[in-house]
Structure 1
Amino acid sequence: MLPQERQKEILKLLQEYRSMKINELSKQLNVTRETIRKDLYEMEDKGLIKKVHGGAILNKANSETNYDHRKYTNYIEKKSIAKKAAELVEDGDTIYIDYGTTALLFAKELMSKSDLTVITNSLPIANELVNYTDFQVVVIGGTIRKNEKSLFGPVANLGMEHLYVDSGFFGMGAISSEAGYTNFHMGESEVSRRMIKHSNKTVVIADFSKFNTVAMNKVASVDDVDVLITDENTNQEALKELESIRTRIVVAEIVEDEKSVE
């Protein structure tokens, strides 16, 4: 097994058990303790895990929380980002909306638009838009991931093959200038990668908590994204680093009076 493959297996085990001892990983993967120790140091350098005495624990950035819980986390920031992102959509556009809680709030901000075609792999977003008769809503199909209520897999990949959009709007699990845009689930990340290639303009919508962290699956390089919309609580140094790689940064002013959760 190559080091990269072994480290993916280590990450999968940590996602399942939260923490693992070096001797447990050594037995599980049938390699020496020294090999595991070297893997853990490399993974810690990448920001994937945190090495502790005798083993490792999962980096917070790779511990995805429950979807329903995340809807209420950083709600004001996400709502402000969603409003700013909606300003980029024109009547008559064809757009893709990726899965995620910020993406769902963005979808809700589109109700003042007309004649939109919205493609999505998110069941919550499809359900939100289905009764809005002025929109044509296209769901790409695929296997349902219960935690996120999103669609992925071979059927989803086939459904995207001949679909192209004016703009694609993508949530993201983690962002850094070195690793780029990364996410937690392999299948969902593949859907995002494919639709980024099929978007004339790629827009990432992400709150301050996603920055300077790295998740397991690469979705896009920094220069693959045309516009990054975030909130005013985001680390300014992180934004300067991304902006230096020719990313257009839009900072949404936090709307303090919108404290209720819909």
Structure 2
Amino acid sequence: MAQIFRHPEILEIARQEGRVTVEDLAARFGVTVQTIRRDLADLAEAGRLARVHGGAVLPSGVSNIGYEDRRALNLEAKAAIGRACARDLPDGASVFLSIGTTTEAVARELLRHRNLMVVTNNLNIAHILAGAADCQVVVTGGRLRPADGGMVGDLAAASIERFRFDIAVIGCSALDAGGDLLDFDLAEVAASRMIVAQSRQVRLVADHTKFHRRAPVRIASLAQLDAFYTDRAPAPEVAERCRDWGTELRICG
């Protein structure tokens, strides 16, 4: 396969899996590792990827990828995470579901739950749950972010502060090796921090692609959370921190 065709495919694999490795790409494309190293060097020079030992990752930045692109990524993993998390949400609870494509997957699995109050700052989740027979849906105030239907900013945080939730289910854009949840939008993070503060239990839903991404704004630490639902085991140091902090790690397959 010619370089002009490999580069877009390499970028798509990186978007789907969070990172690429030289050995894997060489095997996929039937070329030498030296050829793949040149491809990755070219993509890094163009700012499309960032080189790491043995491969490359999506570059760090100060803005997230588009909502439609995020929604299409890792669909099966997000569905599995959504099913597992929803199974652990009891009937008769007050639940906050935050902005995110994985929290939307959780919402799809709640349609048969009974006697729920779901508060959200995500208009997509409100739309999903509008058809639930036994679910009261409350949408926070806030500034509408048209790109993804999120309600963000000080007004969203003030709305959230009026509640005390049994359980919050939140997402993040990145998870670093120190166990910090990260995001891109300061206005969204202000709401997310209030969600954590106002919830008796907090559960994170995040697929493995978040392990290899970077974002500039800190939401919280895994130490503040009760459970972490993901599709693949995180790095050993993250798993060890979860054990030390008492954060339940659920691998959803």
Match of residue 95 from structure 1: 95
TM-score by length of 2: 0.73
RMSD: 2.2
Secondary structure, counterpart of 1:244 in structure 2:
helix
The answer on whether the counterparts of 1:168 and 1:201 sit within 8 Å (CA) in structure 2 is: yes
Secondary structure, counterpart of 1:211 in structure 2:
helix
The answer on whether the counterparts of 1:207 and 1:234 sit within 8 Å (CA) in structure 2 is: no
C-alpha separation between the residues in 2 aligned to 1:79 and 1:194? 26
Match of residue 130 from structure 1: 130
**Cα deviations by residue, 1:134-193 (Å, 9 ceiling, x for unpaired):** 110000111011222100122212211211111000011111242611111111111010
The answer on whether the counterparts of 1:115 and 1:134 sit within 8 Å (CA) in structure 2 is: yes
Choose 62-71 or 93-102, whichever is displaced more.
62-71
Count, aligned residues: 199
The answer on whether the counterparts of 2:111 and 2:133 sit within 8 Å (CA) in structure 1 is: no
Give the letter aligned to residue 84 of structure 2. K
C-alpha separation between the residues in 2 aligned to 1:136 and 1:190? 25
C-alpha separation between the residues in 2 aligned to 1:234 and 1:156? 31
1:69 aligns with 2:77: no
**Cα deviations by residue, 1:91-150 (Å, 9 ceiling, x for unpaired):** 111000001100111100011211100000001001111132311000011101122210
Secondary structure, counterpart of 2:69 in structure 1:
helix
Where in structure 2 are there 5+ consecutive unaligned residues? 1-48, 52-57
**Cα deviations by residue, 1:166-222 (Å, 9 ceiling, x for unpaired):** 100001111124261111111111101001111100000000011154311110022
Map 1:33-112 to 2 at 5 A.
59-60=59-60, 62-112=62-112
**Cα deviations by residue, 1:30-66 (Å, 9 ceiling, x for unpaired):** xxxxxxxxxxxxxxxxxxx979xxxxxx933654111
C-alpha separation between the residues in 2 aligned to 1:245 and 1:213? 23
C-alpha separation between the residues in 1 aligned to 2:245 and 2:155? 35
C-alpha separation between the residues in 2 aligned to 1:246 and 1:212? 23
Secondary structure, counterpart of 2:80 in structure 1:
helix
C-alpha separation between the residues in 2 aligned to 1:216 and 1:105? 25
Match of residue 240 from structure 2: 240
Task: Return the offset for 1:241.
Answer: 3.9
Secondary structure, counterpart of 2:82 in structure 1:
helix
